[in-house]
Amino acid sequence: MTSVNLRKDEAETPRAGNGVPLLAVRDLHTSFFTDAGEVKAVDGVSFTLERGKVLGIVGESGSGKSVTAYSIMQILAPTGKIVSGSIRFNGQELVGLDEKAMRKVRGNRISIIFQDPMTSLNPTYTIGHQLEEAIVLHTNRDGKEAKARALEMLKLVNVNEPAKRLKQYPYELSGGMRQRVMIAMALACEPDILIADEPTTALDVTIQAQILELMQDLQKQLGIAIIMITHDLGVIAQLCDEVIVMYAGSVCERGTADAIFYEPAHEYTKGLIRSIPRDENNGQRLEPITGTPIDLLNMPAGCPFAPRCDHALKVCLTRRAEEMWVGEDHIARCWNYVREQAEKGIATLEGGGIDG
Amino acid sequence: MAENSTLLEVQDLKEYFDINTGFFRSRPLKAVDGVSFTIRRGETLGLVGESGCGKTTVGRTVLHLYKPTGGKVIYDGKEISGKESLREFRRKATMVFQDPYSSLNPRMTVSDIVAEPLDVHKLYKTKKERNDRVLELLKYVGLNSEHASRYAHEFSGGQRQRIGIARALAVNPEFIVCDEPVSALDVSIQAQVINMFEDLQEKLKLTYLFIAHDLLVVRHISNRIAVMYLGKMVELADAEEIYHHPLHPYSRSLLSAVPLPDPKKARENKRIVLSGDIPSPLNAPSGCPFRTRCPHATEQCAGSMPAFDEVEKGHFVACHRIREIG
């Protein structure tokens, strides 16, 4: 099959911007070795994150979006292991780094906040104690300075009555407030990257709006880069500059938020957008993605989405498409795109042909 | 068919739970505090609100899973009171639960789970009749006979929710309370289940009370939508009307807070971000429950709970200041 616009090499190299990207993940493979066999939770993920940008990773449960984040932080469960690939932070390779060196990065240069702020906070210590501990551990500040910094951080994340909160325990705070405390803790060391793993999923809509607004403000104010992991396309649309769509451990498509929403190229992305209720399909039947979620222990040979894809071609069942450019800063791995381009190509062939 | 006839009428429904606050002391938690609405035959009434607003309690109290502290539930013209009417009511009104993991007994096969309501209400004469009915129900929800002898843990979340729906359909109900039935499901599976609810409604002439916190899903499936806040109903109107022209300040901020899956609209969207958190229902504010977070609140709002008035045809709002801020 001739490839149209199939320029894999370029997809592999960092784009645009001169110099080293803030974070460059290349062909990351992370597996969990279970009694039932090897589960390839992350199966060849590549992306770059530039300074001050918000990258969204969207996917359903089991798509590998959280494991990608945990691999970057190297906080995988004991059965999980980075099998191959490279994660470069500011040019420094993180894969294979010893624990001592990794600690200088984790929580310091790259921070993470989790879905459930209740289980991420220690119920037996006050908010102040936990914030100060993080500050003392990661910076040169001593106890007194740490206390002042903790107060400053709570003010930064718009917690009301910050001095009082420092003396309170996690159970005394509401869910939204706890998530603010987590953000304060994550930002206390002025990291370059904040990874947010479903930070608003456990929160109510109006509280979610507050937290998203806060994250947007902080991102602008502090110039940090954010990796936003979520299953909610609404959150993605609201917050992200660039988006990665994951399915069964690998990237289906990546591009700007506008490209992903308005010109999706991968059949899975298209299906995902068609299946959510929006203004455009209001009053009509939703078009769901058929079938059931993939079993990571029994991965198909070709495209993992092929068994559920309404437009699967023969080639989809046997061979996976490589990453190809489908537009400026827009990459997808879908044979259907190739087919569409070929059809269009034939149509324009008389006019001047297609470029190779 | 009488399309517009009222199937279910709820009048001033109250559900208080006693919460122990100390040694031999307790205080009522007013989970639902004077809620009234009607549901027409064949329609879907969406019930939205944030956690702790009492929407699930409304669903359960309507079905008398909790004994109402006060108020009336009138089904098909008859008030539910006493054992006889309740037993009859429960053959017509069933429920689908949120969590497809904890709501199915792990020790029962799918066929026993689905047939349990049939057993309880003694709705078959022979074993064959029971089996046939189970297969018919599984077929309704897109499962087949091969699934009947398996256990719930062998299924994915979406399939489990289908089993829960088959069980709810077993007694041939007219009315189903759907309590967050798609919240635990992945986006791609959510759409399958929503479509199934719509198909079943048409095929079996069902009426739904659809409880959810996802406003886009509720808007999609509902004819009318009711908004709750801290045990009270604050607004009720046609789905499109409330989506485009919410009147209550709470509904307005709730709708503006929905993250739209569309980057351009998300950029244009003017969010009304509320300050503060939802008060505890144990310490609900006096008067209008929303007044502590409402940008328009005045003294009057602290004094008394506004009446749930019909301000436009079919559009009910409980707000003292609706004339000024409208």
Residue ranges per structural domain of chain B: 6-105+173-325
Q: To the nearest whole number, what is the mean pLDDT of chain A? A: 88
pLDDT band at B274 (very low <50, low <70, confident <90, very high): confident
Quick check: A354 pLDDT over 60?
Answer: no
> Residue B40 burial by CB count (10 A; 0-12/13-18/19+): exposed, middle or buried?
middle
Residue A289: its chain B contacts at CB < 8 A? 188-189, 191-192
pLDDT at residue A350 is higher than 80: no
**Closest residue of chain B to A285, computed from CA coordinates:** B195
Residues of chain B above pLDDT 90, percent: 80
pLDDT of A201 over the 90 cut: no
Give one word for A234, left, alpha or beta, with left for phi > 0 and alpha for psi -120 to 50.
Answer: alpha
Cross-chain residue pair A288–B159, CB shorter than 8 Å: no
Min Cα–Cα distance to chain A from B137, Å: 20
* Better pLDDT: B294 or A9: B294
Q: What is the pLDDT of residues B217-261, one digit of tens each?
A: 999 999 999 999 999 999 999 999 999 999 999 999 999 999 999
User: Which runs of E-coded beta strand occur in A257-329?
Assistant: 324-327
The model's pLDDT over A171-181, given as tens digits with 9 standing for 90+, comes to 999 888 999 99
Spell out which residues of chain B touch residue A54, defining contact as CB-CB under 8 Å: none
Distance from CA of A236 to the nearest CA of B (A): 7
Our CA-based measurement puts residue A91 at a distance from the nearest CA of chain B, in whole angstroms, of 32
> Is the pLDDT assigned to residue B45 strictly greater than 60?
yes
DSSP character for B109?
B
**Minimal C-alpha gap between B2 and chain A (Å):** 23
Averaged pLDDT of chain B? 92
Q: Which residues pair with B19 in a beta bridge?
A: B27
Of A324-328, B165-169, B175-179, give the lowest mean pLDDT range: A324-328
Tokens of B125: 């004469």
- Contacts (Cβ under 8 Å, ≥6 apart) of A344: none
Q: In the predicted model, is pLDDT for residue A1 greater than 50?
A: no
Q: What is the mean pLDDT of residues A23-34?
A: 96
How far apart CA A140 and CA A150 sit, in angstroms, is 14
pLDDT band with cut points at 50, 70 and 90 for residue B141:
very high
State how far residue A50 is from chain B, nearest Cα, in angstroms: 20
C-beta atoms of B194 and A277 within 8 A: yes
> Nearest CA to B285 among B325, B229, B236?
B229
Do the Cβ atoms of A237 and B219 come within 8 Å? no
Inter-chain contact B261–A210, Cβ cutoff 8 Å? Answer: no
Residue B3 — very low, low, confident or very high, per pLDDT cuts 50/70/90? low
Question: Using the beta-carbon criterion (under 8 Å), do A205 and B257 form an inter-chain contact?
Answer: yes
Question: What is the interface size between A and B, counted as CB pairs within 8 Å?
Answer: 128
SS3 call for A183: helix
Q: Whose CA is closest to A1, among A254, A273, A268, A320?
A: A320
For testing the chain A interface, which of B51, B144, B154, B187 should be mutated: the one with the most A CBs within 10 Å? B187
Q: What is the pLDDT of residues A247-304, one digit of tens each?
A: 999 999 999 999 999 999 999 999 999 999 998 888 899 999 998 888 888 888 899 9
pLDDT at A353 over 70: no
Integer Cα distance of B240 and B121 in angstroms: 39
Contact between B277 and A205 using a beta-carbon 8 Å cutoff:
no
Cβ distance B220 to A282 less than 8 Å, yes or no, reads yes
If you average pLDDT over residues A183-208, what whole number do you get? 90
**Contact assessment for residue B63 and residue B178, using Cβ atoms and an 8 Å cutoff:** no
Q: How far apart are CA A12 and CA A83, in angstroms?
A: 19
Q: Is A126 exposed, middle or buried (0-12, 13-18, 19+ CB in 10 A)?
A: middle
CATH class of B6-105+173-325: alpha beta
Nearest-angstrom CA–CA distance, A57 and A63: 10
Specify whether the CB–CB gap between A30 and A77 falls below 8 A: no
* Chain B nearest CA to A103, separation (Å): 34
Chain B residues lying within 8 Å of A208, measured CB to CB:
257, 259
**Mean pLDDT over residues B137-155, rounded?**
92
Q: Which residue of B has its CA nearest to A159?
A: B276
Measured between CA atoms, how close is A10 to chain B, in angstroms? 27
pLDDT in the model for residue B4: 65
**CA nearest to A193, candidates A92, A63, A320, A305:** A92
- Mutate which of A204, A233, A246, A298 to disrupt the B interface (most B C-beta within 10 Å)? A204
The reported pLDDT for the residue numbered A15 is 44
Contacts of B194 in chain A (CB under 8 A): 277, 286, 288
pLDDT at A254: 96
Give the C-alpha separation, A299 to A297, whole Å.
Answer: 6
Residues of A in contact with B256 (CB under 8 A): 209
Nearest CB neighbour to A286, from listed B50, B195, B265: B195
* Chain B residues near any Cβ of chain A (below 8 Å): 50-51, 156, 158-159, 186-192, 194-195, 198, 213, 215-217, 219-220, 240, 253-254, 256-266, 271, 273-274, 276-278
Tell which of A236, A286, A298 to mutate to test the B interface (max B CBs under 10 Å): A286
pLDDT value at residue B22: 81
List of chain A residues whose C-beta atoms are within 8 Å of the C-beta of residue B264: 258
CA torsion sign for B294, B297, B302, B306 is: negative
Option in A160, A234, A258 nearest B260 (CB): A234
Structure-token pair, residue A257 = 């938020």
Q: What ipTM was reported for this prediction? A: 0.86
CA A293, distance to chain mean position in Å, is 20
* Chain A interface test: which of B238, B251, B262 (most A C-beta within 10 Å): B262
Distances (CA, A) of A152 to A132, A181, A212, B276: 11, 12, 20, 20
User: Average pLDDT for residues B103-130, to the nearest whole number?
Assistant: 94
**Could you tell me which residues are beta bridge partners of residue B176?**
B94, B208
Q: Look at B194 and A286 and tell me if their CB atoms are within 8 Å.
A: yes
- Residue B184: pLDDT band (50, 70, 90) is confident
Does pLDDT of A47 surpass 50? yes
Confidence at A2, pLDDT banded by 50, 70, 90: very low
* Spatial distance between the Cα atoms of A43 and A83, rounded to a whole number of angstroms: 10
Interface test with chain B among A181, A214, A236, A275, by most B beta carbons within 10 Å: A275
A277, B220 Cβ separation under 8 angstroms: yes
- pLDDT value of residue A8: 43
The residue of chain B with its CA nearest to that of A247 is B188
pLDDT (tens digit, 9 = 90+) per residue, A53-109?
A: 999 999 988 899 999 999 999 999 999 999 999 999 999 999 999 999 999 999 889
Could you tell me which residue, B4 or A195, shows the higher pLDDT? A195
Q: How far is B162 from chain A (nearest CA, A)?
A: 12
Q: What is the mean pLDDT of residues B125-147?
A: 93
